[in-house]
């Protein structure tokens, strides 16, 4: 697919219609229940797989749909409009596999990407640790070479879809004397001996997507499962985030759009002082501001997606790091503001679980935190400006 820098092409518009129809029919009706039960929505996963929307980014060479970065954004955005937890299926599949697409041997790509494309396995990303969140280079997980195998020991924290994913991109220290240049990337399988998972975190939002520790105890894996050369893992991790921060921006856009759509519908119907709430100028100005913030963030996100696509195709984009951080930061800040305003517009009803905007407000918060807090994003942007 080729597309102009800011505007989606016709095939992207058709993709949006397809995803929205699926989301309205199969995902939105399950969102409140999945949130309440804190259970991974396997039926939603199967519906996404059946429509080839669970990992649209996997290249055709590996059995995937070969969707570009904007296609991935649109899928995540439209699923998140219905259910933020479910949007983590396509988002995390991309996060887990981008390190392989960027840095792995052809053999490793052939070994793992087709299973993801078929929907036989999901792929999570394991970078953070209990003492290494924003300071990811301070990780303690070790990988020690023993013959033609590596032995991994450590604990990864905040791992999205841990336990339901079959495969994990794991960053581990192979040379403790080399700092960030001593970190390497590996593929670990759920079935590898010594892999276990901590209890599910009890979270504010995205409750239907499990977040757990991944615990590695003497996990022995073949040397061939290293992604790229020894010591290149942290570089791969940072390059990955340049692409996947755009998908978090997409998730934030979707949550915000869902909240705005619901609020607009509500204020048109709800009557106070003898007229529709939508007739009050104070409410109209709030809606205008919500829509303006959302559209500004969307344009920035699509622009970043266009840059991400070019970079994936091997054309260096020196402003991708800035733009992906800016998109993630702007979209998540907008989502938080818009969902808070949507709750306000519904008044007392907005504060109850009978209406979806309180869930959207809870879900929006994580987009300001994961894949780099918005404070870290501002540091990244400033560094890009000052270097």
CATH number of the structural domain spanning residue 90: 1.10.540.10
DSSP label at 24?
A: I
Structure tokens belonging to residue 115:
């299973």
The reply to whether 206 and 289 lie within a common domain is: no
Does the structure show a pLDDT above 80 at 267?
Answer: yes
Does the structure show a pLDDT above 60 at 80?
Answer: yes
Rounded to an integer, what distance in angstroms lies between the CA atom of residue 372 and that of residue 127?
Answer: 11
pLDDT number for residue 107:
98
The rounded percent of the chain whose pLDDT value lies above 70 is: 98
Q: Classify the C-alpha dihedral 354-355-357-360 as positive or negative.
A: positive
Looking up tokens 């195998």 gives: 149
Evaluate whether residue 4 is within a structural domain. no
**Boundary of a domain, candidates 183, 202, 231:** 231
Q: Which of 77, 129, 309, 371 is catalytic?
A: 371
Does the structure show a pLDDT above 90 at 90?
Answer: yes
Query: Has 78 been annotated as catalytic?
Result: no
Is residue 146 classed as helix, strand or coil in its secondary structure?
strand
pLDDT number for residue 250:
98
pLDDT number for residue 8:
77
115-134 mean pLDDT: 98
Structure tokens belonging to residue 252:
């934030």
Does the structure show a pLDDT above 50 at 22?
Answer: yes
Nearest to 218 by CA among 153, 174, 155, 167: 153
The reply to whether 147 and 204 lie within a common domain is: yes
**Is residue 233 packed enough to be buried (19+ CB in 10 Å), middle (13-18) or exposed (0-12)?**
buried
Contact 321, 242 (CB under 8 A): yes
322-351 mean pLDDT: 98
pLDDT number for residue 1:
40
Per-position b or e across 355-368, b if 16+ CB within 10 A of its CB: bbbbbbbbbbbbbb
The reply to whether 189 and 202 lie within a common domain is: yes
231-260 mean pLDDT: 98
Q: Enumerate the H helices of 136-179 as residue ranges.
A: none
pLDDT number for residue 182:
98
Domain range for 150: 123-231
Does the structure show a pLDDT above 90 at 9?
Answer: no
How far from 320 is each of 103, 154, 160, 304, 344, CA to CA, in Å? Answer: 18, 32, 24, 7, 36
Rounded to an integer, what distance in angstroms lies between the CA atom of residue 246 and that of residue 321?
Answer: 10
166-194 mean pLDDT: 98
Q: How much is the pTM?
A: 0.97
Instruction: Quote the crossing angle between the two packed helices 233-269 and 357-367, to the nearest 10°.
Output: 160
pLDDT number for residue 362:
98
The reply to whether 134 and 73 lie within a common domain is: no
The reply to whether 101 and 238 lie within a common domain is: no
Q: Compute the CA torsion angle 264, 268, 271, 277 (nearest 10 deg).
A: 60
């Amino acid at each position: 697919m080729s597309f102009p820098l800011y505007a989606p092409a016709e095939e992207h518009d058709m993709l949006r219609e397809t995803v929205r129809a699926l989301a309205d029919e199969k995902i939105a009706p399950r969102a409140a229940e999945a949130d309440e039960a804190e259970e991974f929505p396997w039926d939603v996963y199967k519906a996404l797989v059946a429509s080839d929307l669970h990992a649209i980014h996997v290249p055709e060479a590996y059995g995937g749909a070969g969707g570009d970065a904007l296609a991935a954004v649109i899928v995540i955005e439209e699923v998140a409009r219905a259910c933020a937890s479910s949007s983590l299926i396509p988002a995390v599949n991309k996060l887990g596999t981008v390190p392989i697409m960027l840095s792995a041997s052809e053999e490793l790509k052939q070994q793992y990407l087709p299973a993801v494309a078929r929907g036989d396995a999901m792929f999570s990303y394991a970078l953070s640790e209990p003492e290494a969140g924003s300071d990811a280079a301070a990780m303690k997980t070790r990988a020690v070479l023993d013959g033609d195998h590596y032995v991994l020991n450590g604990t990864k924290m905040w791992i999205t879809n841990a336990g339901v994913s079959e495969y994990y991109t794991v960053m581990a220290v192979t040379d403790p004397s080399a700092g960030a240049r001593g970190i390497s990337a590996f593929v670990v399988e759920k079935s590898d001996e010594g892999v276990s998972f901590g209890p599910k975190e009890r979270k504010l939002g995205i409750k239907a997507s499990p977040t757990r520790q991944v615990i590695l105890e003497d996990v022995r894996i073949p040397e061939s499962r290293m992604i790229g050369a020894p010591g290149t893992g942290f570089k791969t991790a940072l390059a990955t985030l340049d692409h996947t921060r755009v998908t978090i921006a997409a998730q934030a856009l979707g949550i915000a759009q869902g909240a705005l759509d619901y609020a607009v519908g509500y204020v048109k119907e709800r009557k106070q002082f003898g007229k529709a709430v939508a007739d009050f100028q104070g409410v109209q100005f709030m809606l205008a501001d919500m829509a303006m913030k959302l559209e500004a963030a969307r344009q920035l996100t699509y622009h970043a997606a266009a840059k991400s696509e070019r970079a994936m195709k091997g054309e260096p984009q020196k402003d991708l790091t800035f733009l992906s951080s800016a998109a993630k930061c702007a979209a998540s800040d907008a989502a938080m503001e818009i969902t808070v305003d949507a709750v306000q517009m519904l008044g007392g009803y907005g504060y109850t679980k009978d209406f979806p905007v309180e869930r959207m407000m809870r879900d929006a918060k994580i987009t300001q935190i994961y894949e780099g807090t918005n404070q870290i994003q501002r540091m990244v942007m400033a560094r890009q400006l000052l270097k």
